[in-house]
Each structure stands twice: as structure tokens, then as C-alpha cells.
Structure 1
Amino acid sequence: MNTDSLISQVKDSASKLGIKKFDVFGATVESSSAQVNQGVPKQVKASHRSSIMVRVWNGDRSLGVTSTNDTTPKGLELALQTASEASNFGAKEHIPDFSPLATSPIQEMGDRTAEAAPMDTLLETLLEAEQKLLNSHPAIVGVPYNGLSQRDLVRFYVNSEGALRQEHLSYASIYLYSKTEEDGKKPRSAGAYRLGRSLEQLDIEGCLQETTAKTISHLNYEKMTSGRYLVMFSPEAFLSMLAAFSNIFNAQSVLDRQSLSTVESIGTAIASPMLSVSDYELHHKNIAATTFDSEGTPTGEVPLIKEGVLTNFLHSSITARRLNAQPTGNGNMGAKVSVSPNFFCVAPGSAENGGSYNIDTADNVIWIDELHALHSGVQSLQGSFSLPFDGWMIKGGDRISIESATVAGDIKQLLKSIVCVESEVKLTDGGVSPRVWVEGLSITGEG
């Protein structure tokens, strides 16, 4: 997409149609990916997708919205015309407007592009990774879920009051998930994920080592006794839990009464003082960071929980206006502007971590590595969860894989029962987090 040409076409078409107030958000994505199975290619894909969202306000301030993937001058003109006609039937209450920060400076990120590798290189690299994984242990018989992909993304935002944003970035990712088979034993699985600027900068070896180590650690499993335990969440598992209950921080959910929080919740303690959480899209570990949302608002760091206290909600321009706040760069333009988190960052709060919370010497501790069935096991409006998980029982510092178990509880109680937030963070596809220890969670096993 030639964004300069496209933006010029949008302005020319708006002038031709007599449209005085409009904004446009657009993106184009070029991606290629590969999957393999038992030494042969399973699937290769390449795509080029463009999408543009157009909003037009009429003289009565009513709003019309349309979308298109036709980036020709005629297609853009038709989208503007359709949005203009739709504005005559727009809502009369809580009408979106331009973000007040749409012309504020955004952070300079430097060159974040990389040349895409040829498809045959993707396949060769993934086939080699699969073979190494299969050769790492006799019990590993397959890598049923795997993928190596690269993406090139161009985004822009423009409005009739002079706002203009553009950015271009590239990144690559790999995912490996292995499976075992042994006589008289249940199949066991484990996986790992890595993200990098390009294929050359992707930590494939680290992904292989983590997948292998996790898979082998699950081979000798045991049943466990149900009860209440001290639980240590892996970074992936804790971030999955935060994402499942992100309505706590979502201003649109609060206004729609679809949140565990209310407007009055700001300033109240909702977690242990050991926990701090922010939404930080521009964190230095976030390879795929975007510098503005689809309303043109700059992204950045939004403190959500500071030493256990709820300090902010995530806002679009419309929720910010209704709650007398500032947009936070979490708006998603559409027929209705929605709000979503960008990149969670979990960190220790004020309290010191105790020396007793050391995984190398822990005893009778449950290590939850990966949560499952989040789509069905979470009641986000009630705050309750009941989720099967993969993990280990820690006895005298030794890891013993758990055959099958479920963790259940209430998210509010979980947050307040945190007794340790470690300092070393790990990058995942949902953010960065250290391991988090929680006291007294209910675990149901088969023992």
C-alpha cells in the first residue's frame, strides 16, 4: 500500500463529495506461513490483505461508518459516499468524535522492517526444527501443532482536521507443540512460542529447548490429591487469566455494565500490594508494537494496578469523554468503537518477595504452566473460573507432572491472595510477566 498516495486520494474524494468532517484508518498485511507434518509440508500460505474503515460526520454531527478493502480511487470515493449516506441514520447519543490526542506526537521507533525470507526457507527451517524435536527423545512421536510465519504490516490514520499517522513494521514467529506416546501411558504434550523481528533474529533454538524440556518433564506423571494449595502460575498462565478477566480494566465494559468494576472502583484495592500491572504497548520486548490505535491516539504505558490498587481503565476517545479521562490508545474503530488491551506488563509491587518462595526448594506447591478451556471455563461477569491445566507438583524442589487436574476460584480472591511476584519477566504472545505465587487455590485432581 502506498499510504501517501492513498491518503491524498481520500482527501481529494472527500473534497469532491463535499464532506467536511471524516477520518480513515487503514492497514495492509503481507504474510507468509508454513506448517509441516512428519517431515513433509502440511500447509503453506501467503496473503496480501487490505482493510480501510471510513467515518463521516454530517452537518447534524450524526455519524456514518463503512469499511472496504478496495483501495482504488473509485473504491475510496464509494466508501466515503456510503459513509456519508449512512450518517443520516446514525445514532443520536454518545456519538464518537475525533480523539483529542490524534495530533499529539507519537514515539519514534526507528526502522522496524525486515526483508521477508523465501517460502522454501520457511519450510526448510521448520522441517529442521521438527526433526530436531523428534530426535530429542524416543517418546516424542509428533509435532501436531507447529507454525513458522512472517508478517509485514503497514498502518495509517488520517482525519479532516490534519491528523496523519503512518507506520511500517515486520515480525516473525514460531510455535512448536509436541506429543508423546509410550506403552501403558497417556499421551503428553507441551509447547513453546517465540517472536522476533525477522526469521534470522528468531530464537528457534530456545523454542526447541523449551518445548523439549517441558515435554520430557511430563512423561513421568502422577495423580494428585484434591485440596487447597500454594500455586505458582507461569507467565503464560497468569497473563491468560488476566486476559480472560480484562473487563476489569475496560472502560466500555464498565459503561455497559459488563465488567467486574464500576466507575467507583478506581482507587480501590483489588489485588495484593505485591502486584502491579500496566498495559504497555511500547514495551521494549514487544516486537509487534504499534504506536497508535485505530482512532489515531498514541499508545504508551497505562498503569492499571499499582501496588494492588486499581488506578486506571483502558479508554477509547468516546469512553474517555464520558468518564472525563484521556484516551489511552486502546480504541478499535468500527460501527461502535470498542476497547481492548494491547500488551499486559506484570511487575512486582511494593512488598518484598519472601525467600520462602523459591521453586528450587519449594515443597507441596502446584506449578500451573498452561491453562485450557478458557472459552468455556471462565464466567467473566461473575468472576469465577474452573480450568483444566498442565503443570507439576513440586516436592522438595523436584517437579512431578500432574496427570490431570483443574483449578477453580474467583479472580478477585485470586488477585488478593498473591503472596509473591518474582522479578524476572518472560515475553509471551500476550505480554510480559514473571511467575506469580498465589496462596490457597482450590485444585481438583484425580487422586
Structure 2
Amino acid sequence: MLTWKGVGFALADFMEIARYALQRAASLGADQVEAFLNAGKELVIEVRDGQVETMKLARDRGLGLRVMVNKCAGFAFTTDLTKTAVEDIVRQAVSNAASAAPDPYRVLPEPASAYPELNLYDPAIRKATVEEKIELARAMERAARDFDPRVKIIESAAYHDAEVEVTLVNSRGIQATYQSAYCGLYMSLVAEENNDSQTGFAMDYRLQYDQLNPVKVGREAAERAVRMLGAKPVTTRRAAVILEPYVVTGFLGLLGPGLTAEAVQKNRSPFAGKVGQEVASPLVNIIDDGALAGGIASAPFDGEGVPTGRTVLIEGGILRGFLHNTYTAARDGVKSTGNGVRGSFKSPPEVGTTNFFIQPGTISPEDLIRDTQQGLYVTEVLGMHTANPISGDFSVGAAGILIENGQLTRPVRGVAIAGNLLDLLKQVDGVASNLTFFGGRGAPAIRVAGMSISGH
């Protein structure tokens, strides 16, 4: 009898289900089999004017099954973990494999000698009462309103947490499990003055409940809105541009897919054929680390059971390599970097980033601004989705604060910045010390020596 415990089924039950699925798939002719089970719970609380506006608690659990039959891969998933349902998806996965083309690189990984030891589960997240979590959102909202009377509208003041249990078993001997949880705060608001309104937001996600600081998040969101009141365009120019950490993570999101071996193998990466070459300024170091202490995307193993770890992609401006899962690694004759990521049991693993970041420099963001005679401090970009991830070309709307004689002066809106992502990386001439993570991506402020700013 399978029983619901905590987030999902007990891990022992998960292991029993996985072994049963493996045995049934083998009996139907599968050469290799992988069972990926997870159970999750997610809580979202939104507060407005001190009152709870919405509260959502969602649970999800299921099994994703991958099989290899004569080098043909098949996949199926189910949310029903009864024996009958498991039997059904085993047959479905094997049937799906029969419709696939054979591929000699479709293999499953072997067991690892060890996995990184990570502190991913803080019991305080579950122990905290709903009332205490509501109070965090209220405190954040109060801090924003107390920061400045021009903060008029709270669009969202939310507390969010999630926990997950993962079990992965394959026919090559991997039997691995872990439990993780995270919590966070998010705020968006509007400040108004003289018929002008500006938005501001802030967020903070942590693995440790006691590290959440609602006052800091509330004040930061308010400051971001208030400082942009009265923003106007500037004249068209070419100037130095300092990109705030959040803006840099937007560019990182554009960059990430091109640093996967999958994109290279499909000729969809601007970095193809450039390993060992200079692709960025010597100040730029880009890293992916699935075992990063405190990282929201950290886990002891990836979506295939391969140990996670630190992969240096760009070091001192030199391209060192790409992110791999088991499939892309087999194609290139190398080892997986532990980047076989999967959003849930509903899809097979793909190649993707984990904790993906630009390494911080040693100069403070304040000194980086003081060291910039004339330029634009960019706090927001619009239309990043229109950028071309293969060529790297972009033209996006921008807002920020003008830099004059090393000082932040007046707010700017209604301008655009354009260029090429690879050119941008090569023109970085300043990297600040304020590495800040927004979910799985992190960056410090960076200065680009010269960019085209289109105004009026």
C-alpha cells in the first residue's frame, strides 16, 4: 500500500515504484531504463493593503520513464503511481521507442563514485506557520510604503516557497534521491508624482528561511520606482553603459543556450568552433555550478543522475568549453558536465544551465559609477525576447539614470540600446563586486566601454 507522506510518497515507496518500472520495461525488451520520480509542493501567498488577496497551495507528483530499445529512445510519464498505471506507461514508452530512429549516442549514465554533499533542505521553511509567512509579505509591503509617500500602488507583495523530493533509478545501477526546498519574496509596485508613474520591483530567493529580509526587499522595490520619477529621454549618443545586475542576468539568459553543446551540435550557437579563442573581455568569467552552496538551482545530481559541479565556460575572456548532458557528451566523446536538466517528470532531460553566473570583480558598484565620466546606468530593458540568440544581435528599450562626471544625475526613459552580444562581452571594461542572483542566474553590475544609445 503506497501512502502519502509529507510532500509526496515516502522515498522508500518511490524506490519501490522505480524498481518495478525497470523490471517491467526490461521484460518488454528495453535494453536500458530510467525512472525519474518527483513530488513537489508549492505555496504562494499574495498580500494587498495588509490583507491576504490570494493563497495557493499546489502539489504535484509523478513518474517519467525513459527506455532505450536497440538504440531507440522512448519516453512516457504518469501522475498515477498505481501498478496498473505504471504498467501502462512502461508499454507506452517501449511503444514510443519503436517509432523513433536509432541513435548510437542514446545511452544512460553509469553510477558515480560520489555526489556533492549539499545543504538543500531547511526544515524551518515547513515549520514556519502560514501566519508567519503572511506577516513576511505584510512587512515587505509596509517597508515599501514607509520608504516614500509617492509609493501609491502595490501590484504584488508575495511570499513563495516550494519543496521537492526526487528519486532517480536506472538499469545501469544508479539509485539516487534528494530533498530540497527554497523560499522567497517578490514585490512590484508603482510610484506616482506630477502625473508621472514609474514601476519598481525586487525579489529575494533563499534556501534558508531565516535569511529572508522583507524590509530590504520592500525598500529596494520602492527605491527602484521612486528614483525613476520624472524620467525623460536623452539625445542619441554613443557612451559607456553600466548594466545593473538584473539587466545583466537578462543578457545571460540570452547567452546560456549558446553555451550548451546541444546548440553547438545543431549549429545554433555563436560560440561554435571558438573553444580556446578570446570571446569576451579578459575581465569576464562565466561559470555554471550545479553544486553551488546556497544556489537555488543546486542539486547533488542532474536529471539523469550525473553528479553536478562547477563548469568554467569563459575564463579570462577565453572560451573553455560547453555544457553537456549524457547524450551530447557521448556525441563529442567527452564527459557530461552534469547539465542534464529537467523541469519535472513530464519531460526527458535536456541540456541547460543551473546556477549560471558572471564571476564578480573587486570594484564596488559605487566606485564603478564614480570611475565613469559620462554614460548611462541601465536599470531596465524591454524586449529582450526579440534578440537573436544565434547571431547575438539585439535592440532593446532601456531605462536608467544618466551618469555625469561620475555621478548618477537624472532618470532616463524612452531610449534604446543596440548591439551584438559578443561585441558587448568584448567591450566590458569594468566588473563590480555585487554578484546578485535572481533565481538560477546571477551577475554583478558590468560596464561596457561604448554602446549606441538611441534617444531623440
TM-score by length of 2: 0.89
User: What SS does the corresponding residue of 2:54 show, helix, strand or coil?
Assistant: strand
CA RMSD, 1 decimal = 2.4
Following TM superposition, by how much is the alpha carbon of 1:343 offset from its aligned partner in structure 2, in angstroms?
A: 1.4
Would the aligned equivalents of 2:258 and 2:268 in 1 still touch at CA under 8 Å?
no
Aligned to 1:196, which of 206, 226, 234?
206
Answering whether residue 49 of structure 2 is matched by residue 38 of structure 1, we say: yes
Would the aligned equivalents of 1:171 and 1:288 in 2 still touch at CA under 8 Å?
no
Map residues 148-227 of structure 1 onto 2, 5 A cutoff: 148-184=159-195, 186-227=196-237
Give the Cα separation in 2 of the matches to 1:345 and 1:399.
Answer: 29
Aligned to 1:99, which of 82, 105, 109?
109
Would the aligned equivalents of 2:43 and 2:160 in 1 still touch at CA under 8 Å?
yes
Give the Cα separation in 2 of the matches to 1:346 and 1:13.
Answer: 41
Find the counterpart in structure 2 of residue 408 from structure 1.
418
Give the Cα separation in 1 of the matches to 2:140 and 2:365.
Answer: 38
Q: Which shows bigger deviation, 66-75 or 409-418?
A: 66-75
Would the aligned equivalents of 2:245 and 2:445 in 1 still touch at CA under 8 Å?
yes
Find the counterpart in structure 1 of residue 305 from structure 2.
296
1:13–1:409 distance in 2 versus 1, CA, 3 Å: closer
Give the Cα separation in 2 of the matches to 1:348 and 1:141.
Answer: 35
Following TM superposition, by how much is the alpha carbon of 1:233 offset from its aligned partner in structure 2, in angstroms?
A: 1.1
Q: Deviations over 1:167-223 (max 9, x none)?
A: 111110111112012223x21111111112354431212212222222221124333
Give the Cα separation in 2 of the matches to 1:134 and 1:424.
Answer: 26
Q: How many residues align?
A: 439
Find the counterpart in structure 1 of residue 5 from structure 2.
none
Give the Cα separation in 2 of the matches to 1:145 and 1:385.
Answer: 30
Find the counterpart in structure 2 of residue 237 from structure 1.
247
Q: Which shows bigger deviation, 14-23 or 303-312?
A: 14-23
Would the aligned equivalents of 1:170 and 1:288 in 2 still touch at CA under 8 Å?
no
Q: Which shows bigger deviation, 402-411 or 430-439?
A: 430-439
TM-score by length of 1: 0.91
1:21–1:55 distance in 2 versus 1, CA, 3 Å: same
Q: Deviations over 1:295-349 (max 9, x none)?
A: 1111111000010011010111111111122111111367764211111121268
Q: Residue 318 of structure 1 aligns to which amino acid in structure 2?
A: Y
Answering whether residue 139 of structure 2 is matched by residue 128 of structure 1, we say: yes
Q: Residue 13 of structure 2 aligns to which amino acid in structure 1?
A: S
Find the counterpart in structure 2 of residue 426 from structure 1.
436
Following TM superposition, by how much is the alpha carbon of 1:90 offset from its aligned partner in structure 2, in angstroms?
A: 2.3
Gaps of 5+ in 2: 1-8
Find the counterpart in structure 2 of residue 277 from structure 1.
286
Give the Cα separation in 2 of the matches to 1:214 and 1:143.
Answer: 13
Aligned to 2:353, which of 341, 346, 349?
341
Gaps of 5+ in 1: none
Answering whether residue 149 of structure 2 is matched by residue 141 of structure 1, we say: no
Following TM superposition, by how much is the alpha carbon of 1:385 offset from its aligned partner in structure 2, in angstroms?
A: 0.7
Would the aligned equivalents of 1:269 and 1:308 in 2 still touch at CA under 8 Å?
yes
Give the Cα separation in 1 of the matches to 2:143 and 2:364.
Answer: 40
Aligned to 2:118, which of 109, 123, 132?
109
Following TM superposition, by how much is the alpha carbon of 1:89 offset from its aligned partner in structure 2, in angstroms?
A: 1.9
Map residues 262-411 of structure 1 onto 2, 5 A cutoff: 262=272, 264-332=273-341, 337-347=349-359, 358-360=368-370, 362-375=372-385, 377-396=386-405, 397-411=407-421
How high is the sequence identity, in percent, across the aligned residues? 21
Would the aligned equivalents of 1:276 and 1:306 in 2 still touch at CA under 8 Å?
yes
Q: Residue 342 of structure 1 aligns to which amino acid in structure 2?
A: T
1:356–1:327 distance in 2 versus 1, CA, 3 Å: same
Give the Cα separation in 2 of the matches to 1:344 and 1:415.
Answer: 16
Q: Residue 20 of structure 2 aligns to which amino acid in structure 1?
A: D
User: What SS does the corresponding residue of 1:219 show, helix, strand or coil?
Assistant: coil
Aligned to 2:17, which of 9, 12, 19?
9
Would the aligned equivalents of 1:250 and 1:339 in 2 still touch at CA under 8 Å?
yes
Q: Which shows bigger deviation, 204-213 or 289-298?
A: 204-213
1:320–1:95 distance in 2 versus 1, CA, 3 Å: closer
Map residues 22-33 of structure 1 onto 2, 5 A cutoff: 22-33=33-44
